[in-house]
Amino acid sequence: MEEQRAAFIIDATVANFEEAVLQASFNTPVLVDFWAPWCNPCKMLMPVLTKLAEEFEGKFILAKVNVDENQELATQFNARSVPTVKIFRNGAVVDEFMGAQSESNVRKVLDNHIERASDKMRLQAGELIQQGDLDDAITLLQQANQEDPDNTRVRLDLISVLFLKGEYADVEQAIHSLPLAERETPEIKGLQNRLLFAKVAADADEIEALRSAIESDGNNSEARYQLAAQLLVDGDTEAALQALLLLLMRDRTYGDDAARKGMVAILESIGEHEVTSKWRRKMSSALL
């Protein structure tokens, strides 16, 4: 038992850190606990980490770094206070937290990094998607969700494939059934924003027909909005934003401020990016 325990609960030092943590993290997540003997919060956290390491039986490695004896490592990895916990994967820090945490909170962090059987099914589903076999991918992800309902990544993948297949009603129903916390994630919010335009594009004319309609009637706001939707679905995000900007300047009242709301939705989907900043400035100028 002690030999098994030693394999996944170790004392990491300057001498063995390269092999025991950095190299090992290419095969297994390594949770590094920077601690000190005089630190009371460390004494609270250590039993929690040890319990989880023993429970997971090698699905992650717990590496304990005594900062008093390994100040070089604490400095190198910016562990300014103790306890500081950093998770290494593929030779780099991928997550971290500071201070004593409850077991449930630590489990949530670990859940993002420890491979589960359902994650292997996700990879298989991804291969099916690459092959264009969306139906079998959906079936596999549904099975993974039934077997491991706590894996939020499976649900996100399933919703994304339903979106790719154009099953928009199923996408809406699946999003609605998610816990509130999951509905508020950037991934789901972005999907909801894309869903808005996908539904418009599904009932719209083709891009060239919409452009011809606009050339014939520059006041055709519906055609402009549909053009933006088609361009976005086609992957031309900036052209879609340009179409909505023109609609915003020409007909602010269309669709209950649909142009502004549409631009906001697209920019939220992109996230923080130089493209986002540029188009926010253009939108602000148009609203003056």
- Catalytic status, residue 39: yes
- Flag whether pLDDT at 6 surpasses 80: no
Measured distance CA(269)–CA(194) in Å, rounded: 8
Phi, psi of 31 (to 5 degrees): -95, 115
Q: Give the pLDDT of residue 74.
A: 96
Q: Does domain 201-287 have CATH number 3.40.605.10?
A: no
CATH number of 117-184: 1.25.40.10
Q: For 142-201, what is each residue's pLDDT tens digit? A: 999 999 998 888 999 999 999 999 999 999 999 999 998 888 888 898 889 889 999 999
Instruction: Kindly name the residue from 31, 42, 85, 258 that is annotated as catalytic.
Output: 42
Q: For 55-81, what is each residue's pLDDT tens digit? A: 998 999 999 999 999 999 999 999 999
Amino acid at 218: G
Domains 117-184 and 201-287 share a fold: yes
Helix, strand, coil in percent for the chain, rounding step 5: 65, 10, 25
- Cβ(231)–Cβ(240) under 8 Å? yes
Q: For 189-248, what is each residue's pLDDT tens digit? A: 888 988 999 999 999 999 999 999 999 999 999 999 999 999 999 989 999 999 999 999
CATH superfamily for domain 2-111: Glutaredoxin (3.40.30.10)
Instruction: Kindly name the residue from 12, 30, 39, 175 that is annotated as catalytic.
Output: 39
Could you tell me the residue ranges of all domains in the chain?
Answer: 2-111, 117-184, 201-287
H or E element that contains 61: strand 61-66
